[in-house]
Amino acid sequence: MGAEGSDRAIAAVTAAGVAHAVTRIGPVRSLEEAAAARGIEPRDIVKTLVVRRDDDDFLFVLVPGDREISWPKLRALLGVKRLSMPDARTAKDATGYERGTITPFGSSRAWPVIADETVAGRAISLGGGAHGVALTVNGSDVIQALGAQVADVTDPRASGS
């Protein structure tokens, strides 16, 4: 998944009418390295996590880099007792993107999106469909374009995680 994935993501964010900038960086080994390479704070990198509700029922959760999913909050919001993270192969099958590159823009299926409430109203950096490619966008524009549900679904990331 190289240029084809990033081309798909960039075309989708453009088609959605979301103003964006594309950043291309070399390989990184951590959130902190990725943020430094992009010239931003770790909290401004927003991970797109794929969450499974059932066998062929997924959703995207947008989680800032300094936060992690609060499973109790997310289960309560969705009214379910169980959620899980799919393995890498299943996530790729569900989205068309490899882990570390996933974005709701250009996903092979338009799964529902939940954005943590901290995403709105600020510049964020999302995965761009290929390793080393990021999309800098306004969080509120992303929420609007994707019809995302905004909710408190994260907690501060524990140090060292």
The CA R_g of the chain, rounded to the nearest whole Å, is 14
> Is the pTM of the predicted complex or chain greater than 0.75?
yes
* Residue percentage of the chain with pLDDT more than 70: 97
Q: What average pLDDT does range 70-83 have in this prediction? A: 97
The domains of the chain are located at: 3-156
Question: Which amino acid would we find at residue 144?
Answer: Q
pLDDT at 110 over 90: yes
pLDDT at 129 over 90: yes
Residue 118 binned pLDDT confidence (cut-offs 50, 70, 90): very high
Residue 26 confidence (pLDDT)? 81
pLDDT at 1 over 50: no
Q: Model confidence over 32-67: pLDDT tens digits?
A: 999 999 999 999 999 999 999 999 999 999 999 999
Q: What average pLDDT does range 105-125 have in this prediction? A: 97
CA dist 46 and 31 (Å) reads 10
pLDDT at 2 over 70: no
CA dist 110 and 133 (Å) reads 21
Beta strands in 13-161, from DSSP E residues, in sequence order: 21-24, 45-54, 57-64, 67-69, 113-116, 123-127, 133-138, 149-151, 154-156
CA trace torsion 121, 122, 127, 132 (10° rounding): 170
First to last CA, the chain: 27
CA dist 66 and 28 (Å) reads 17
Residue 161 confidence (pLDDT)? 54
Show the tokens assigned to 129.
């469909």
Alpha helices in the chain, H assignment, sequence order:
3-15, 31-38, 71-78, 88-95, 139-146
Q: What CATH number was assigned to the domain covering residues 3-156?
A: 3.90.960.10
